[in-house]
Amino acid sequence: MHVGEPESVPRQEAGPSPRLAHVCIVSSGAEGAIGLSVKRAFEALGRRVSYLPYLDWLPKLGSASFRGSGIINRGIASLTRPAIEVRLVAALKSLRPDLVLFIKCDDLHATTYTAIRRATGAPLVAFHPDDPWNFATTFRRGPSHPRAELQIRQVDAMFLWSRALVQRAAAEGAQRAFYLPFACDPALHMQVDAVTTEEQRELGADVCFIGNWDAEREAWLGPVADAGIDLAIWGAEYWRDRCKHDGLKKAWRGRPLFGVEQAKAARASRIMVNVLRTQNKGATNMRTFEIPCTGGFMLHERSAEAAAIFPPDVACGDFGTPDELVLAIRRWLDDPAGRAAVAAEGHRRALAWTYREWAMRLLERCEGWAG
């Protein structure tokens, strides 16, 4: 077993093994999926990339309004999974890649990993964008990703975005475990120079939060609304259906934002807030990189791993409690010049760690034992 944890993220490029010339990514084809950013990154490095949207092959009921659809979807997926996994093995056998990268896809059975290895002869690596041991709620007990531990033991190398998760993976049987934080994709979260008057009216606010509801985020953002601060929340319908705070319900703009609309919201707003989910505490999430990539001013929940990349008061603002969040918002709203300088440094640092550098780091970690 090998554990790798680089001291910092950006560094001088090295040349990963040219033997890994053909990379196959097994992920989701949904708009904005990490896998698509990674695909562009490997292509920018001159690699041949095959993309298998395995997660999209699983049939779904497709009814967002039916509350039981999640349970039914899991049942349908369970019944059809053997055929889908056979299809995946056949597709990989036909492609014959030099490296197979699973992004999540932690629902595969052990026999499928064995079959893929026999069919391709390629090293198998995985990146998990969630906490593999995060616990489910409501109708399911136990981990949200019940086969993630199996994946960690089956692949040749496991890449995770948190140092704590890397240590746990190593302790629980990973052959190799490496720290690889999220990155930014300037093609998806670009910096826009200006917004129209209509876009300013629709997307702008003093403070903007982009993300879905959970009880902890409600607790953090509630005092912001109570303070009378101009707040815009963009996310899915749970902000309407589960949020109990009237002020936050009023702040909800009725839908999520993706891609270019996120970039325009960052341009139209003075402060972009990033509240971490429980699984991301002390580390980073995707928004840690997306916000500065757009050139927005980021006010980030205090985190050692985030601060190592975006130092507070240099490349972002930070806060450690809901009350500190309100105070930090007021401080930075009163300092437009300071916001601009910090946002510029955050943008510079984000562009030093895009998914191109991410892909390069992954290939470097594979050099020597893969290929």
Asked if the model's pLDDT at residue 169 lies above 90, the reply is yes
Q: Percent of the chain at pLDDT above 70?
A: 87
Domain presence at residue 190 = no
Q: Are residues 64 and 154 in the same domain?
A: yes
Q: How confident is the model at residue 368 (pLDDT cuts 50, 70, 90)?
A: confident
pLDDT for residue 312: 98
Domain presence at residue 142 = yes
Q: Are residues 246 and 305 in the same domain?
A: yes
Rounded to whole angstroms, the Cα distance separating 215 from 244 reads 9
Q: Are residues 206 and 105 in the same domain?
A: no
Give residue-wise pLDDT tens across range 265-279.
Answer: 999 999 999 999 999
Query: Mean of the per-residue pLDDT values for the chain?
Result: 90
Average pLDDT, stretch 30-38? Answer: 93
Asked if the model's pLDDT at residue 166 lies above 80, the reply is yes
Asked if the model's pLDDT at residue 26 lies above 50, the reply is yes
Mapped onto helix, strand or coil, the DSSP state of residue 314 is coil
Average pLDDT, stretch 152-170? Answer: 97
Q: pTM for this one?
A: 0.89
Q: Are residues 11 and 104 in the same domain?
A: yes
Q: Tell me, what CATH number does 309's domain have? A: 3.40.50.2000
Asked if the model's pLDDT at residue 32 lies above 70, the reply is yes
Q: Output the CA angle 197-202-206, nearest 5 degrees.
A: 95
Domain presence at residue 189 = no
Q: Are residues 229 and 282 in the same domain?
A: yes
Domain presence at residue 371 = no
Name which of 73-77, 241-245, 257-261, 364-368 the model is least confident about.
Answer: 73-77
- Other CB atoms within a 10 A radius of the CB of residue 240 amount to 13
Q: Are residues 222 and 241 in the same domain?
A: yes
Rounded to whole angstroms, the Cα distance separating 253 from 110 reads 43
Q: Are residues 212 and 347 in the same domain?
A: yes
Q: Are residues 164 and 211 in the same domain?
A: no
Range of the domain at 287: 197-351
Closest CA to 296 of 335, 331, 261, 263: 263
Q: Are residues 91 and 213 in the same domain?
A: no
> Which residues lie closer than 8 Å to 125 by C-beta, 6 or more apart?
99, 100, 101, 102, 155, 156, 157, 158, 159, 362, 366, 370
Domain presence at residue 192 = no
pLDDT for residue 81: 82
Average pLDDT, stretch 86-92? Answer: 97
Q: Are residues 140 and 261 in the same domain?
A: no
pLDDT for residue 144: 65
Domain presence at residue 188 = no
Number of domains in the chain: 2
Q: Are residues 25 and 137 in the same domain?
A: yes
